[in-house]
Amino acid sequence: MGLTAGQPVRFPSDGISLEGLLHLPDGDGPFPGAVICHPHPQYGGDMHNNVVGALVRACLDSGIAALRFNFRGVGASEGSYEAGVGELKDVRAALATLEAQPRIDSSRIVLGGYSFGAIMALRHAAASPGLAAAIAVSPPTVAGPLDGIFIEPPLLLVAGDRDEYCDTSVLASYREQVGRNVQLEVLPGVDHFWWGADDRLAEVVTRFIAGCPEIR
């Protein structure tokens, strides 16, 4: 399935309004759902990023609805960057918005993200029970951002072996610490930005989803 344009949505987060795009698979549902978080707002990251698009496409190919959104201060989302504090509130607001959709099965929700968005997804997943699975693409390993994170549901960690910001040997060292059911995938020849490797990423994510009975 190709990546559809998506249905524009707006939703509140801590007194401001955020923009997003809701993508629904074919059929009547109810569908599992996923919220996808984009890379760093201060370095050009937004919901139209190529990796975000690959994650949305993998969800749709797996029969999962996906909500991608712009963090506060990005695009037409109100507010301004809050160094990860306000952005965590945005993640919670996006999840609540997705779960409230009439064609979504709120008991089968996935949270994913790329780079900064991966860290936001991991932090939320560690603090909030009830997710079916979590996906973290290229989480930056500088300054130990995975310290203290433990994820109960199945977790996919995926990065390239040429990533400038995600040291895959460091990521591998966290594998035993961050969850009970952690799948680590390192793709050869791929850097942090995944140019030309979007389809390979989508295939990895699709396989992970297919192996999660919590989602299916």
CATH of the domain at 22: 3.40.50.1820
> Does 66 reside within a domain?
yes
| pLDDT tens by residue, 16-48 | 999 999 999 999 989 999 999 999 999 999 999
Mean pLDDT rounded to a whole number for the chain: 95
Q: Indicate the pTM of the whole model.
A: 0.96
Q: Output the pLDDT for position 43.
A: 96
> Does 216 reside within a domain?
no
Residue 13: pLDDT above 90? yes
User: Dihedral sign, CA of 2, 5, 9, 14?
Assistant: positive
Look at residue 183 and give its three-state secondary structure.
strand
Q: Are 130 and 109 in contact (CB under 8 A)?
A: yes
> Does 31 reside within a domain?
yes
Domain of 80, in residue numbers: 7-210
In total, the chain counts a number of residues equal to 216
β-pair partners for 136: 113, 157
| Pair of tokens at residue 74 | 């990005």
For residue 39, the surrounding DSSP H or E stretch is none
Neighbours of 40 (CB within 10 A): 20
Domain count, the chain: 1
